[in-house]
Amino acid sequence: MFIEPNLSGEKSGWIEVICGSMFSGKTEELIRRLKRVKIANLKVEIFKPSIDTRYDEIRVVSHDSNAILSTPIDNSQTILLMANDVDVVGIDEAQFFDAEIVNVCQTLAQKGIRVIVAGLDMDYLGQPFGPMPSLLAVADYITKLHAICVGCGNIASISYRKTEQSGQILVGEKEMYEPRCRKCAAKGNAILK
């Protein structure tokens, strides 16, 4: 999809991506940024995938129980329909959206909207997750957060799955996942096989 350059002198938007493993504080950082936007009296719309009902069906909720009201949606194109007359769009759990989320974010930024996206950059096997690699490629600003490995205390970059269930998408929290470094994740995967 080609996006026409903004030559009209209107304000320019941008894309910020917050990524990392589970329990690294991605949603916490997203909520922090969005609350600051609200304090500045900017118009904001916040979206999350409808499959993420771990803590709440409508609100984006961090593991530390901080929350902000959002709109659950089934596909990324809905964002373009609902993000009218806004200054900022927040998107949580972007890895669960379809590949079109990348074009949606670019379209919003081209319209002069600040887009703040949070999501897992890697799945439980340490592989790139869904549309996140493409979002990272087009982002103007990237913040990579890290958790602490429960195995050794080093920096954790992998959301280690504690169950033998396969498939890239398995929505869960502390009962199913824990943060691990590469070494501890590899040890755990060897035991599960």
- For the stretch 124-168, pLDDT in tens is 888 999 999 999 999 999 999 999 999 999 999 998 887 776 655
Q: What percent of the chain is modeled with pLDDT above 70?
A: 77
Tokens at residue 181, please? Answer: 């470094």
The pLDDT score that the predictor gives to residue 107 is: 97
* Whether residue 80 has pLDDT greater than 70: yes
Higher pLDDT, 49 or 69: 49
Give the residue, 175 or 162, on which the prediction is more confident: 162
- pLDDT, residue 89, reads 97
Is 111 a residue whose pLDDT tops 90? yes
The upper half-sphere exposure of residue 123, i.e. CA atoms within 13 Å in the direction of its Cβ, equals 14
Q: What is the pLDDT of residue 141?
A: 98
Residues forming the active site: 93
pLDDT in tens, 9-32: 567 899 999 999 989 999 899 989
Report how far apart, in Å, the C-alpha atoms of 130 and of each of 57, 123, 192 are: 22, 9, 24
Q: What percent of the chain lies above the pLDDT cut of 90?
A: 60
Residues 6+ apart with CB under 8 A from 69: 46, 58, 59, 60
Neighbours of 183 (CB within 10 A): 13
Judged against a pLDDT cut of 90, whether residue 59 lies above it is answered with: no
Mean pLDDT of 89-115: 96
Place 96 in a pLDDT band, splitting at 50, 70 and 90: very high
81 token code pair:
């329909």
- The domains of the chain, with CATH numbers, are 14-145 (3.40.50.300)
DSSP 84-148: -S-SEEEE--GGGS-TTHHHHHHHHHHTT-EEEEEEESB-TTS-B-TTHHHHHHH-SEEEEE-EE
pTM above 0.75, yes or no: yes
Segment 84-90 shows an average pLDDT of 94
